[in-house]
């Protein structure tokens, strides 16, 4: 099995549902040197700021019975919109002449599931590997170590 490694100029997206870092590898495969290219953050909002607090009620078509409608998870919806905006930014950026050779996506498992839905076909082609880990709060030097170690155990995307 071929080892996957971050090459010079490759981009690394590290994200969860509220924060995303787009990093560029200024080093090489053996000694990565990750530098921040862009940062995205979504401010925390309480549920009442995002949408209605209480679930709606539905009247039955016959009789007087009423039942609750499943409540929308406004935080999930906000996280999904946030991750879509990050994916859209990357999709636009890879259309430029300075586009990276490959992109690595490292996201919490939940965020990884959400952002996958937002990949454009061009972005999907650039993705070399995905790692389902929540590393967004780690310092860069720790990210370099962990991502390099994780890539040794990842199958080619």
Can you list the domains of the chain with their CATH numbers? 1-42+80-157 (3.30.420.60)
* Confidence at residue 50, expressed as pLDDT on a 0 to 100 scale: 46
The DSSP bridge pattern shows strands 19-25 and 11-15 to be antiparallel
- Tell me the pLDDT of the chain (157 aa) as tens digits: 567 899 999 999 999 999 999 999 999 998 999 999 999 999 865 554 545 555 555 555 666 666 555 555 667 899 999 999 999 999 999 988 888 989 999 999 999 999 999 999 999 999 999 999 999 999 999 999 999 999 988 765 5
Q: Token digits for 15? A: 């994200």
* Confidence at residue 67, expressed as pLDDT on a 0 to 100 scale: 59
- The whole-model pTM stands at 0.80
* Confidence at residue 60, expressed as pLDDT on a 0 to 100 scale: 59
**Which H, E and C letters describe the chain, residue by residue?**
CCCCCCCCCCEEEEECCCEEEEEEECCCCCCCCEEEEEEEECCCCCHHHHCCCCCCEEECCCCCCEEECCCCCHHHHHHHHHHHHHHHHHHHHCCCCCCCCCEEEEECHHHHHHHHCCCCHHHHHHEEEEECCCCCCCCHHHHHHHHHHHHCCCCCC
Side-chain half-sphere of 69: how many Cα atoms within 13 Å?
11
* Confidence at residue 96, expressed as pLDDT on a 0 to 100 scale: 87
**Structural contact between residues 6 and 148, judged by C-beta atoms closer than 8 angstroms:** yes
pLDDT in tens, 47-65: 545 455 555 555 556 666 6
* Confidence at residue 16, expressed as pLDDT on a 0 to 100 scale: 95
pLDDT in tens, 8-22: 999 999 999 999 999
């Amino acid at each position: 099995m071929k080892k996957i490694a971050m090459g010079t100029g490759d981009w690394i997206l590290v994200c969860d549902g509220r924060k995303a870092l787009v990093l560029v590898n200024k080093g090489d495969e053996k000694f990565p040197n990750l530098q921040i290219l862009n940062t995205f953050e979504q401010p925390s909002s309480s549920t009442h700021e995002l949408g209605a607090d209480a679930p709606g009620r539905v009247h039955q078509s016959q009789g007087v019975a009423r039942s609750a409608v499943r409540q929308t998870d406004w935080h999930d919806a906000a996280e999904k919109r946030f991750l879509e905006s990050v994916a859209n930014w990357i999709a636009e950026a890879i259309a430029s002449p300075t586009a990276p050779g490959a992109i690595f996506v490292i996201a919490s498992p939940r965020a990884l599931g959400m952002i996958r839905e937002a990949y454009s076909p061009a972005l999907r082609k650039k993705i070399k590997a995905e790692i389902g880990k929540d590393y967004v709060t780690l310092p860069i030097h720790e990210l370099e170590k962990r991502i390099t170690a994780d890539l040794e155990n990842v199958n080619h995307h």
